[in-house]
Chains A and B, each alone.
Chain A
């Protein structure tokens, strides 16, 4: 047990010396999360500035450069990721597609996050009939596979980017609604909310000042994960032909368009798909980090520098082993 106490001492000492570690430092402490954050920043920068930098290179056809294989420096940087059957650069098209993809995924996540969270917090705070009705609505939306609903809706209304954002947001609202409701239903019975109520604070300002700040970290983490899901859903829709429509181009659409050339030009669908996977994994890694960084019970892992974390973990393991041994004896 001695080692465990030592280890606890170690953490406590560290905590006291720098008790408030900024989010940025905590990010740097987790190597995977750092890489993920850098990658996502690059993706966002590409989406903002890429299309302008690429100009008309994404649509320019050059029959001299038909079906060039990727990773061949002889073709120049523009054709580094290969070219399609019309001699268009895959790299330039992917850069432009980044913007389309993010312009669907980010607004969809934001709309669902804001509506779902406010609604959920409101329902959980007031409880009673408002809560019951809200949860029924969430159940109705969730009781059916979202992709199929999106397929039906987008087939009826023309599949413009705005419609895709709308249908993806609507199908994802219940996720935030449920989480926000659960958290706020629990919070509204806490003493600090009771105190605010006793002072005669209006329920809307209690929600705004006391409930929302507490639930925000959880919901933001959820939104990061949801970004992944929404991006994948958009690609699936584009793949089925009812998402982004040509001549616009998104990663999912590029995968779909490249599918028929799979035997001759694999890079046309494999590379854009890889972009989807990398972005999704990065968002997942970042969400996992956020979950730890915003959880007061687990945050110490990131507040310590790496050396002490390792020492602490080793000590905990040894202590656990000793305990097990004691138990076995």
Chain B
């Protein structure tokens, strides 16, 4: 397990570094923050002083080296806007997004498991068709539009919930309902596909012939096997939630990391932007590892035990085979394209 984790960390470190360098360079190309933070009639000496204070007078490579050096000392720079520690600001905003994402994913997974399983019980039946159409629609509604429709119907016309804010359960309703749609729609399709193929397996017949109740057959035997592809997709959807969070947090004034990122881009607050990007990237990295661990728990075949390693080596010696990677799209079969298309949106 430790070898596996080490490999994973090394493999993910490269994308992490590239993303940070990319954002670092891009952020500096947005223009000189001095124009934004100093008064219009600021003298040249004031501008130079400002640049020197924020380290902007150094060549970009030196700035980058200083930044990476700072990361190892857990120093992520200070915000130009508020003078606060950038990491503190990012960490303060993070829980709000995390709570929103966690609530959304829990609701989406529960709903999708129920709807997807019921749909898979009678493929091509009336309920299957309805649920496939509903899930398709849910997955294709733009979140910002849904948020606006929600505000129009529930906040303006009916006046049941506030238009923005985080206080009280009512304020949670619209943001969560908006964000739930896409993960729900995609997950229903994946779980339905996986359940249909799981229900046609011999072990289901065995369970039925042994007299297991339908509830037990579906809940115990089929769902456990359909959970693996669902888990992969759910993980990718959680990454995609960050996209949705940017839009939804902006609309509902949710004080999360998405809003902080947009604000810091607009205000050229480089240190905060980089801290946010780093935090998001690390969170996604941890999430991916958790998914891989969950995958190994669900499916003993991909457990990186000694036996599996031996088998994998034998297979590699035989020549290239397909499907040795548990996360190749073929696993999901019919819902392949869906799985691929939402990967890391």
A, B co-complexed? yes
Contacts of B285 in A (CB 8 A): 143
Are the CB atoms of B144 and A239 closer together than 8 Å?
A: yes
Q: How far is the CA of A127 from the CA of B321 in the complex (A)?
A: 11
Size band of the B side of the interface? 35 or more
Q: How far is the CA of A221 from the CA of B265 in the complex (A)?
A: 36
Partner of A148, one of B15, B29, B246, B343: B246
Tell me if B211 is interfacial: C-beta within 8 Å of chain A.
Answer: yes
Contacts of B96 in A (CB 8 A): none
Tell me if A74 is interfacial: C-beta within 8 Å of chain B.
Answer: no
Task: Decide yes or no: A152 and B265 within 8 Å by CB, A127-B320, A277-B137, A327-B208 being known contacts.
Answer: yes
Are the CB atoms of A175 and B343 closer together than 8 Å?
A: yes
Contacts of A228 in B (CB 8 A): 140
- Grouping DSSP codes into helix (H, G, I), strand (E, B) and loop, the A interface class, with mixed when no group exceeds half, is helix
**Nearest chain-A residue to B156 (Cβ)?**
A263
**Nearest chain-A residue to B151 (Cβ)?**
A262
Tell me if B105 is interfacial: C-beta within 8 Å of chain A.
Answer: no
Partner of A185, one of B23, B151, B320, B336: B320
Q: How far is the CA of A269 from the CA of B343 in the complex (A)?
A: 29
Task: Decide yes or no: A144 and B246 within 8 Å by CB, A175-B340, A273-B145 being known contacts.
Answer: no
**Nearest chain-B residue to A179 (Cβ)?**
B340
Tell me if A182 is interfacial: C-beta within 8 Å of chain B.
Answer: yes
Q: How far is the CA of A252 from the CA of B141 in the complex (A)?
A: 12
Q: How far is the CA of A67 from the CA of B152 in the complex (A)?
A: 17
Task: Decide yes or no: A281 and B246 within 8 Å by CB, A218-B337, A222-B341, A255-B144 being known contacts.
Answer: no
Q: How far is the CA of A276 from the CA of B146 in the complex (A)?
A: 11
Task: Decide yes or no: A273 and B340 within 8 Å by CB, A140-B18, A281-B136 being known contacts.
Answer: no
Q: How far is the CA of A239 from the CA of B124 in the complex (A)?
A: 38
Are the CB atoms of A240 and B140 closer together than 8 Å?
A: no
Contacts of B22 in A (CB 8 A): 149
1/0 per residue, CB under 8 A from A, across B249-280: the answer is 01000000000011001100000010001001
Tell me if A236 is interfacial: C-beta within 8 Å of chain B.
Answer: yes
Partner of A143, one of B19, B30, B141, B145: B19
Tell me if A94 is interfacial: C-beta within 8 Å of chain B.
Answer: no
Contacts of B133 in A (CB 8 A): 32
Task: Decide yes or no: A225 and B338 within 8 Å by CB, A146-B345, A156-B29, A182-B329 being known contacts.
Answer: yes
Are the CB atoms of B337 and A222 closer together than 8 Å?
A: yes
Contacts of A182 in B (CB 8 A): 322, 328-330
Are the CB atoms of B239 and A155 closer together than 8 Å?
A: no
Q: How far is the CA of A221 from the CA of B151 in the complex (A)?
A: 35
**Nearest chain-A residue to B273 (Cβ)?**
A152
Contacts of B337 in A (CB 8 A): 179, 218, 221-222, 225, 287, 291
- With both chains docked as a complex, state the minimum distance between the C-beta of B216 and any C-beta of chain A, in angstroms: 14
Contacts of A313 in B (CB 8 A): 124
Partner of B26, one of A145, A152, A222, A280: A152
Q: How far is the CA of A41 from the CA of B233 in the complex (A)?
A: 32
Tell me if A232 is interfacial: C-beta within 8 Å of chain B.
Answer: yes
Task: Decide yes or no: A151 and B341 within 8 Å by CB, A182-B322, A262-B156 being known contacts.
Answer: no
Task: Decide yes or no: A146 and B142 within 8 Å by CB, A287-B337, A328-B211 being known contacts.
Answer: no
1/0 per residue, CB under 8 A from B, across A71-89: the answer is 0000000000000000000
Are the CB atoms of B140 and A189 closer together than 8 Å?
A: no
Are the CB atoms of B144 and A148 closer together than 8 Å?
A: no
**Nearest chain-A residue to B323 (Cβ)?**
A186
Partner of B261, one of A146, A148, A156, A317: A148
Task: Decide yes or no: A270 and B148 within 8 Å by CB, A143-B15, A277-B140 being known contacts.
Answer: yes
Task: Decide yes or no: A140 and B140 within 8 Å by CB, A151-B246, A218-B337 being known contacts.
Answer: no
Are the CB atoms of A273 and B23 closer together than 8 Å?
A: no
Task: Decide yes or no: A152 and B23 within 8 Å by CB, A136-B14, A147-B246, A222-B340 being known contacts.
Answer: yes
Q: How far is the CA of A11 from the CA of B59 in the complex (A)?
A: 72
Are the CB atoms of B156 and A155 closer together than 8 Å?
A: no
Partner of B148, one of A189, A221, A259: A259
Q: Could you tell me which B residues sit within 8 Å of A by CB distance? A: 11-12, 14-16, 18-19, 22-23, 26-27, 29-30, 122, 124, 132-133, 136-137, 139-145, 148-149, 151-152, 156, 205, 208-209, 211, 239-240, 242-243, 246-247, 250, 261-262, 265-266, 273, 277, 280-281, 284-285, 319-322, 328-330, 334, 336-338, 340-341, 343-345
Q: Which 9 pairs across A and B sit closest by C-beta, in order of nearness?
A: A273-B145, A280-B140, A327-B209, A142-B344, A147-B243, A143-B15, A145-B242, A140-B15, A186-B322
Jot down 16 A-B pairs with beta carbons below 8 A, ordered by A.
A139-B11, A144-B281, A144-B284, A152-B265, A156-B26, A179-B336, A179-B340, A182-B328, A182-B330, A185-B322, A236-B143, A240-B250, A280-B142, A281-B140, A284-B139, A323-B205
